[in-house]
Chains A and B, each alone.
Chain A
Amino acid sequence: MPGFISAAGKYIIETASNAGYGVVMLGEALYWVRTAFKRTKDIAFQMQVCGIQSIPVTLLVGAFVGMVLALQTGLSLKPYGIQHLIANIAALSMTREMGPLMTAVILAGRVGSSLAAELGTMRVSEEIDALEVMSINPIKLLVMPRVVALTIMLPVLAIYANVVGIIGAALIGNIQIGIPYDAFFRDCMNSLELRDLYSGLFKTAVFGLIIAAVGCSEGLRTTGGTLGVGESTRRAVVNSLLLILISNYFMTSIIFRLFY
């Protein structure tokens, strides 16, 4: 029993310490956003690597999420004769929830892991120490561009995912349920309001911040050589996903309370 309590206590302290490091690092990165105009090249490069190169996988995910959403919803509603509501459900679900969430989940795996691996490798090969010795703040040089890039690009990717998801849903709605395309898209447009789009994009921007902060934080705290880099990469993905899911619930609650 004492061993369990000691281990639990150690875990809690370690988790709190890691979380504290991440929060302080993110705060400092946000402070250095004021120098972003001097680092447009770095930010643009990160937007390309983290964002634009993620478009193919995001489109694929968006399409299949929309398709399975339409399939499941259509099959469930058909016995009641209200399967035409697929369009409304697909549009609202994709823009408010599924588009932002699935985009964030995919990027947590794809980008979060690469951030942790890249910065972790720099840490174990003393490149981060070299920057500090050259009086160069690694958070200003390395973390800030990544935070800015992901906060901008995730909402952009979510828009792509939403559009492709709705198209995928329309495809299934037509093939499986027999809903004409023009009726489907008309119902989509009628059910959507701007607040649905904004709420989804706001959440996605927060998810981008989370992925960048967790990935960079785990990378900068890497110890223990190549094994440590692997550990950091794994933790970056798991912790990003957990924070995304937890924050999604609370943000959704607050948004509904305030705007719906």
Chain B
Amino acid sequence: MIELVNVHKTLGGKNVLDGITLTIERGETFAIIGRSGTGKSVTLKHIVGIMMPDSGKVIIDGVDLSRLSRSELLAFRKKFGYLFQSNALLNSMTVFENIALPLREHEKMTDSEIEALVREKLALVEMDGTQPLYPESLSGGMKKRVALARAIVRDPEIILYDEPTTGLDPITAASVNNMIRDMQDKLNITSVAVTHDINSAYTIADRIGLLHTGKILQVGTPEQIKNSQDLRVKQFIQGIALGPLTA
């Protein structure tokens, strides 16, 4: 279970998170939606412990992240997979080396075992055969898939997706949404996705939360969000320029 309890965070003098409280159950896919710059990625970075709250708590499976030492936090992160908005593939390494890196650092596996596991994960994201390529020679959609393969290589319990469809064409975006849903069905893991793409959220999420001015305004299933009478939710999902979110 993931719990954010009254989390506050100020960055550059601005209250990015202003008392956010959220609970995500084990095994569910939760999408955090909101306008650009409202703190969605910052929320995700708090869940994985890359950022620490100024006040409040982030509790993962009963463990308060702020109480962990740096080495304990590094070890604790093994239960996470993270798909960065920019993919964050290491440009000095091939596709194979990128995905094999966490295995070589943490697992006692032979070269052939690593090779087999990398091939298996790449096949899951339909990218088997790209092992010798460098990230610079991949398209945006291909990089996203390789980054996802790296995120799941150690069978994490929790996967975090930071704007998984941003910058992709509609067909590739739909393909990534399906891939995320497939991953959820096959691996039955907890997933948290932040996105401003409402259609992506409807496709992948069990529940959706709207983040605005550092707080979660409403949480509900995709159907509940679609039928919400809250004017702020309506403005966001209908893409209306003027309204309570922009007042």
Q: Which A residues are closer than 8 A to B by beta carbons?
A: 122, 125-127, 129-137, 141
Contacts and interface: CB of A to CB of B under 8 A. Distances in A.
16 contacts: A125-B91, A126-B86, A127-B90, A129-B45, A129-B50, A129-B84, A130-B84, A130-B90, A131-B90, A132-B50, A133-B48, A134-B101, A135-B105, A135-B106, A136-B74, A136-B101
Given A134-B105, A135-B106, A136-B101, A127 B78 contact: no
Interface in B129-157: 150
A126 B102 CA distance: 16
User: Which 3 residue pairs of A and B lie closest in terms of their CB atoms, listed nearest first?
Assistant: A130-B88, A126-B88, A133-B82
B111 to A, nearest CB: 14
A126 B84 contact: yes
A34 to B, nearest CB: 15
Interface in B54-81: 74-75, 77-78, 80
B90 A133 contact: no
Given A132-B77, A135-B75, 8 more contacts: A127-B88, A127-B91, A129-B88, A130-B88, A134-B77, A134-B150, A135-B78, A137-B74
Contacts, number: 48
Contacts of B84: 126, 129-130
Contacts of A136: 74, 101-102, 105
Given A125-B86, A126-B84, A133 B91 contact: no
Interface of B: 45, 48, 50, 74-75, 77-78, 80, 82, 84-86, 88-91, 101-102, 105-106, 150
A122 B84 CA distance: 13
Nearest to A141: B105
Nearest to B105: A136
A130 B105 contact: no
Contact of B74 (A122, A125, A129, A135): A135
Contacts of A131: 90
A127 to B, nearest CB: 5
A173 B89 CA distance: 56
Contacts of A135: 74-75, 77-78, 102, 105-106
A138 to B, nearest CB: 10
A91 B209 CA distance: 73
Kindly name the residue among A126, A127, A132, A133 whose own CB sees the greatest number of chain B CB atoms within 10 A: A133
A137 B69 CA distance: 13
Contacts of B50: 129, 132-133
Contacts of B45: 129
A136 B105 CA distance: 7
Given A125-B86, A126-B86, A129-B50, A134 B102 contact: yes
A137 B74 CA distance: 8
B91 A130 contact: no
Given A135-B74, A137-B74, A125 B88 contact: yes
Nearest to A118: B92
Contacts of B106: 135
Nearest to A124: B86
A111 to B, nearest CB: 16
